[in-house]
Amino acid sequence: MIYLKQIECYLIKHPSVKESYEDVYKEICKEIQLFLMKISIEVE
């Protein structure tokens, strides 16, 4: 999840980029969460 933090930091420093990528970022977060859920289910 280090990458997400890096993306967040970048977006905070670049508000104009943040606006245009906010939707994409949210989608990425959703995808990552789904992926992590899948992994945790498979591990159990």
CB-count exposure of residue 25 (10 Å: 0-12, 13-18, 19+): middle
Question: What's residue 10's pLDDT?
Answer: 75
CB 31 within 8 A of CB 39: no
pLDDT at 21 over 70: yes
Q: Which pLDDT does position 28 carry in this prediction?
A: 83
pLDDT reading at 22 higher than 80: no
